[in-house]
Amino acid sequence: MSLKEQLAEYRAGWHQRVPAERQAIMQRHIDALRNGEIARKLLKLGDRAPAIVLGNAKGEMVDVGALLRKGPVIVTFYRGGWCPYCNLELKAFQDVLPQILAAGASLVAISPEKPDESLSTAEKNALTFEVLTDAGQKVGRAFGLVYEFTDELKSAYNGFGLDIPARNGAPGEWALPISATYVIDRDGTIVYAYTDADYRDRADPRDVLEALTRRAAAA
């Protein structure tokens, strides 16, 4: 199945399992993001990407600027290894990694989770690309992706048994990035941007590959 089909299948089961009241809270949150200030702050096609220097799951520092000197870089922001939609997306990118590398590009995934959580995510999904920790979410904020939780949203996540501050090693900070995917060209320009505020929808890796192909053909 394509990633879109896998996401749709999981979402159908989610609607059956999750109480209607909690579903309504999540939908209000998505609608607020789409119509609020954050939608105007998101970096988009043609913008210049900020610098990204973050630690990977093994504690090594990764400079995306160094990767850009070799070719374009796909940067995908995900919420955390606790998120099933994120895991489906990460696995789908792993599946097309050989084609990404063949196109002369690199791939990095970024979340605010602690490094040990990121390592668990990488191992669980057998990921061979870089999984980076955005401690304090400075990079996510530079991309305009990070939103703060309302009290209502906190209650919903508590209902799922998720302590986001603990997962991220950030006491008291209830915040996450929108699940977004960018392709950054060698000069730092964003040549592809997928920034849907609905965390249940993700960029299809095949579309990302197509963006890489178009870029190569135009070069």
pLDDT in tens, 90-115: 999 999 999 999 999 999 999 999 98
Residue 89 is predicted with a pLDDT of 96
Residue 58 is predicted with a pLDDT of 84
The answer to whether 49 and 149 are in contact (CB under 8 A) is no
Q: Which domains does the chain possess?
A: 3-218 (3.40.30.10)
Residue 119 is predicted with a pLDDT of 83
19 contacts: CB under 8 Å, gap ≥ 6: 159
Question: Rounded CA gap, 152 and 78, in Å?
Answer: 22
**What's the half-sphere exposure (Cβ side, CA atoms, 13 Å) at 18?**
19
Question: What is the pTM assigned to this prediction?
Answer: 0.94
CA distances from 63 to 46, 49, 139, 163, 168 (A): 21, 13, 12, 30, 21
Name the residue among 140, 66, 73 with its Cα closest to residue 106.
73
Other CB atoms within 10 Å distance of the CB of residue 171: 7
Residue 219 is predicted with a pLDDT of 64
Buried b (16+ CB within 10 A) or exposed e, 16-43: eeeeeeeeebbeebbebbeeeebeeebb
Question: Rounded CA gap, 97 and 137, in Å?
Answer: 26
Q: What is the mean pLDDT of each run of 10 residues along the chain (219 residues)?
A: 94 94 95 92 96 92 97 97 95 96 95 90 91 96 97 94 94 96 96 95 94 77
The answer to whether 115 and 55 are in contact (CB under 8 A) is yes
Other CB atoms within 10 Å distance of the CB of residue 150: 14
The alpha carbon of residue 196 and the mean position of all alpha carbons in its chain are separated, in whole angstroms, by 11
The answer to whether 176 and 38 are in contact (CB under 8 A) is no
